[in-house]
Amino acid sequence: MKLQGKVALITGAGSGIGRATATLFAHEGARVALVGRTASKLQETAKAAQDAFCFAADLSRRAEAQRAVDECARHFGGLDIVVNNAGISRQRMLLEMDEPLWDELVAHNIKNPFWVVQAAVPWLARRGGGVIINITSSLGLKPSPGFGAYAMTKAAQQILTLSVALEHAKDGIRANAISPAVVDTPIHETYLTPDGARHRKEEMARFYPLGRVGTAEEVAQAALYLASDDARWITGTTLLMDGGRLVK
Ligand SMILES: NC(=O)c1ccc[n+]([C@@H]2O[C@H](COP(=O)([O-])OP(=O)(O)OC[C@H]3O[C@@H](n4cnc5c(N)ncnc54)[C@H](OP(=O)(O)O)[C@@H]3O)[C@@H](O)[C@H]2O)c1
């Protein structure tokens, strides 16, 4: 088991990539702290993990993020791994982006992982080191029409990753990002075609040289690698997971 004895905090653990990551990490021996806005969704994830601790919080609010990280770390007596996965997707052409929608993206995709990093780094440093994994997006490397504003927030999360890697290597902390293209999760249900119809994952498959969109379990496997000691010399990098989408 690759994470035996480790404590891992996973944000957005109530669904999609977060749920798959929490389940895999628990299977690999980690004690998992599950954080997200909806308690019932966290409880559902917890059923598949032994010894899970759930804490409902809106991580876009600094005080709530601090409380969530502190409560999780205190519950388990420390913290080794943080997966900054919680986030939202909003689709809108640049000139149609209004202030409330932009503020929502900034709150959930930039403030949220930033507050979690600020709260978590001292706990990781206290253990002599740890790992932070940010789930960003391939759109943060190359945007698509309608996703410019979302992509900007994910690019910001990329820079957060590099900054943590630079400033906290001295504390033994590694920070890396995973940048997936479309993954089959509830967030994907929000993607629309230019004429407003729902994007079906079967139709999107043609954009991918490997012939399909990704799965949450595949992203979880990548997170497991980066969280484990197998990746002990890897920091400040981005793992693009996109079925070949960007080279097409
Ligand atoms: N699926 C894709 O195609 C894809 C591609 C690239 C990147 N990503 C990124 O992957 C991450 C996970 O997405 P997913 O596809 O697994 O979507 P998802 O199933 O919608 O999961 C996102 C989770 O984040 C939580 N969340 C959002 N804002 C939060 C906040 N302020 N505080 C606490 N929890 C919050 C949600 O909790 P509640 O529901 O309880 O609010 C939800 O459980 C996101 O950062 C997303 O941008 C996804």
- The answer to the question of residue 2 being in a domain is no
For residue 86, the CA-to-ligand 1 centroid distance in Å is 4
CA–CA gap between residue 41 and residue 53 (Å, rounded): 13
- The answer to the question of residue 118 being in a domain is yes
What CATH number should be reported for the domain holding residue 191?
Answer: 3.40.50.720
- pLDDT for position 4: 97
Q: Whose CA is nearest to atom 26 of ligand 1?
A: 86
Per-residue confidence at 90, pLDDT binned at 50, 70, 90?
very high
% of the chain with per-residue pLDDT over 90: 91
Query: Which atom of ligand 1 approaches the CA of 64 most closely?
Result: 32
Q: What's the pLDDT tens digit per position in 161-218?
A: 999 999 999 999 999 999 999 999 988 777 777 666 677 788 888 999 999 999 999 9
- pLDDT for position 33: 98
- The answer to the question of residue 1 being in a domain is no
> Which string of DSSP letters, residue by residue, matches 145-198?
TT-HHHHHHHHHHHHHHHHHHHHHGGGTEEEEEEEES-BSSGGGGG-B-TTSPB
Containing structural domain, residue 57: 7-247
pLDDT over 80 at 110, yes or no:
yes
Name the nearest CA neighbour of 178 among 19, 34, 2, 21: 21
- The answer to the question of residue 160 being in a domain is yes
Q: What's the pLDDT tens digit per position in 26-71?
A: 999 999 999 999 999 999 999 999 889 999 999 999 999 999 999 9
Question: Any catalytic annotation for residue 191?
Answer: no
Name every protein residue with a CB atom under 6 angstroms from any ligand 1 atom.
Answer: 11-12, 14-18, 36-38, 41, 58-60, 85-89, 108, 112, 135, 137, 180, 182-183, 185-188
Q: Provide the residue type at 220 as one letter.
A: A
CA–CA gap between residue 132 and residue 72 (Å, rounded): 15
- The answer to the question of residue 208 being in a domain is yes
**Interval 237-244 mean pLDDT:** 98
- The answer to the question of residue 167 being in a domain is yes
- The answer to the question of residue 219 being in a domain is yes
For residue 192, the CA-to-ligand 1 centroid distance in Å is 17
Taken in order 184, 190, 191, 195, the sign of the CA dihedral is: positive
> Average pLDDT of the chain?
96
For residue 71, the CA-to-ligand 1 centroid distance in Å is 21
**Interval 2-30 mean pLDDT:** 98
- pLDDT for position 103: 98
- The answer to the question of residue 157 being in a domain is yes
Of 150, 191, 208, 225, which residue is the catalytic one?
150
- pLDDT for position 94: 97
What is the number of structural domains in the chain? 1
